[in-house]
Amino acid sequence: MKTVACRLLAAVAGGLLLAACSQGGAPAPNPTQQAAQVQDAAAKRNLDTYRELLRIKNDEMAVTMGKDIVQRFPDSAAAKEVQQTLPEIEKRWQTVSTQRRLAALWQYQTAPMAGGTQSTASIYNSTPTDTRVRLVLRRHTSWGQSAFLFSDAHGFVCHANCTIKAKFDDTAREIKAYAPSTGEPALMIRDDKGFIAQLAKAQKITLNVTMQDGEKKVALVYEVGGFVPDQWQALPKKGGRK
């Protein structure tokens, strides 16, 4: 009788052991494995977001998300996938953002002026920052087209006629200019048509001038690469022709 009871107890114990194994499955992950699983899940979620940003062509946010994935999950499959596309997306976004910044430097205005209509495209120098000089392209229904520098201070040293040493990107030029007889703090460019044609092809223009304040010599740098000719409104000339 005792032998039968022992066998029953052994069978019950064996059944409980098998039940415990079948219910529990694989051993529970340790803390390190749990942390890795959390990281992997987060990387996959962010990768899904990155893919969606690429699909909708939101390069700015895609670059931000892509860099975050590579930085936070450097050894993940998500980071490996991102690195295949991120350099090209980042380069494209940098090009677009630079163009937007350059375009924002220009101001375009059309307004009544001296009995006619004036259309201008203007930009301030980027450097030096302590000297503010506008480069202005102007069309006027009576005066025609002109290009000139206009100082926020006291103007330029130019005795009737003068020569501005200039650079269009890396190409050196000499520009003939003159001071207006009416006394405005301006420097008029004689060949406005040629100057504007060179400007439209350049990214940066450097103009070396002498300011009246202490006859200070300055190299005015203009980042002109964002100029959009179509935004500078054409005007009818005398007689109604454009």
Its pTM stands at 0.75
Q: Considering 79, 104, 129, which residue would you say is the last residue of a domain? A: 104
Average pLDDT of span 106-123: 94
| Contacts (Cβ under 8 Å, ≥6 apart) of 83 | 70
What phi, psi does 170 have (nearest 5°)?
A: -105, 10
The DSSP result for 30-83, as a single string, is: PHHHHHHHHHHHHHHHHHHHHHHHHHTT-HHHHHHHHHHHHHHSTTSHHHHHHH
Strand 186-189 with 204-210, pairing: unpaired
Same domain, 147 and 198: yes
What is the average pLDDT score of the chain?
87
In a domain, 5, yes or no: no
Range of the domain at 222: 106-231
**Region 179-193: what's the mean pLDDT?**
93
How much of the chain exceeds pLDDT 90, in percent?
A: 70
Our count of domains for the chain comes to 2
pLDDT band at 114; cut points 50, 70, 90: confident
Quick one: pLDDT at residue 135? 98
**150 and 73 belong to one structural domain:** no
Q: Which residue would you say has higher pLDDT here, 34 or 49? A: 49
3-17, 78-92, 158-172, range with the lowest pLDDT: 3-17
Question: Same structural domain for residues 98 and 164?
Answer: no
